[in-house]
Chain A
Amino acid sequence: MSKDGSNTMIFSTLLSEAVKWGRKNSLWPMPFATSCCGIEVMSTLSSTYDLSRFGAEVVRFSPRQADMLIVAGTITTKMAPVLRTIYDQMLEPKWVIAMGACSSSGGIFDTYSVLQGIDYIMPVDVYVSGCPPIPEGLIYSVLYLQKIIDEGLERTPALKPTYEEAMKAMTYHKTPEGLILPSIKTGISLGNGTNEEASKEVPNEVRNG
């Protein structure tokens, strides 16, 4: 109650604090669940664990409307550009939770097809350990994310590599003879040529090697 006896209430605060308060209590998640961690996400959202107690209950399956990306599951190298596109489509401010061993580090899948942690392609705010993590783990990560937002901790941006950097990283097709074209058996060809054209150009020893 104010001094003159009326019912007017005034909170004096910084706008930034108010924005922080609003952001940290309305973290709308976008689940990107590709394997068994997704089951734990569902469990966390359901009534037993009830993530809505912390303001993160409105699951948005459109990245445009979400604040927090929960990556739950194995991400293959073929899935990586899709995930990066979803991250790019989310509007600032946005946060990322890497849930489980696979999305944090590749997990047990140290193979030719699996991305070794989603921090290869995007910045991650919180990693949740476990295979899969228990729902309390995910809740703890959301609470930790609230702490990050509250304290305004510095976050590292991940920018897409330029074309030159990408070409430098691709060393596997450099040989003493020069560039190896994709062989006929891969079924792809450089440029606009069809398969038949590519097979004519490539000599036999390169094709079989």
Chain B
Amino acid sequence: MRFAMGSSIDQRATYLQLQKAANQKLQDLYAKDLHFELDKINEPILWVKNMPNLFAVICYLQTDEIFKINYLSDLTAYDNIDHIDGDKRFVLVYQLLSLETKVSVRLKLLIDDSEDAKTISHIFPAANWLEREVFDMYGIVFRGHPDLRRIMMDERFIGHPQRKEYDIKQRMPFADNMKTNLDRNPVP
């Protein structure tokens, strides 16, 4: 969609209308069998059921004329340990955006500790490092990821520090960050 040299306020109004239309379409399409809600700034949140469902939704949103999703803003997760949002342990959050129509869609997926997620890095290459971060912090394994290593914590680190059961002050002493014995030897 191309805009004439209008004011930015006009553009913003157009984007809001597009977002509204997108919300309506999303509701018509998926509200029957998936949980659909709007957040406080009228962005749609769609709770997909499982991994194949997520892929189907993403593929549809990429090809659809209204959505034209082509950008992954963020991929993250949170620990649903108190089961407020569902029965499973973690919630994966996919924040999608269209650079053309500025429509944004948030997909959420409940996932358990024992099950594995699948990578979307072949669809959005930006997901590569984001999935590594989610794996590092929460321990969610993404099947099919090209290089699933820790990205933030030390490679020798054991555990996943953003899980609620991980004590925030639990540091891991390694040979190169433990306290040096200052008075052990005389000055050489």
Contact = CB atoms under 8 A, between A and B. Distances in A.
Contacts of A184: 141
Given A157-B185, A166-B174, A122 B161 contact: no
A185 B139 contact: yes
Main SS of the interface on chain B?
Answer: loop
Nearest to B185: A159
A159 B181 contact: yes
A78 B113 contact: no
A35 to B, nearest CB: 16
Interface string A176-204: 00001011111110000000000000000
Interface of A: 77-78, 80-81, 84, 110-113, 115-116, 120-123, 155-161, 163, 165-166, 169-170, 172-173, 180, 182-188, 208
B77 to A, nearest CB: 13
B169 interface: yes
A80 B113 contact: no
**Which of A77, A111, A158, A166 has the most chain B CB within a 10 Å cutoff?**
A77
B34 interface: no
Interface in B142-170: 148-150, 152-161, 166-170
B135 A113 contact: no
Given A157-B185, A161-B181, A188 B173 contact: no
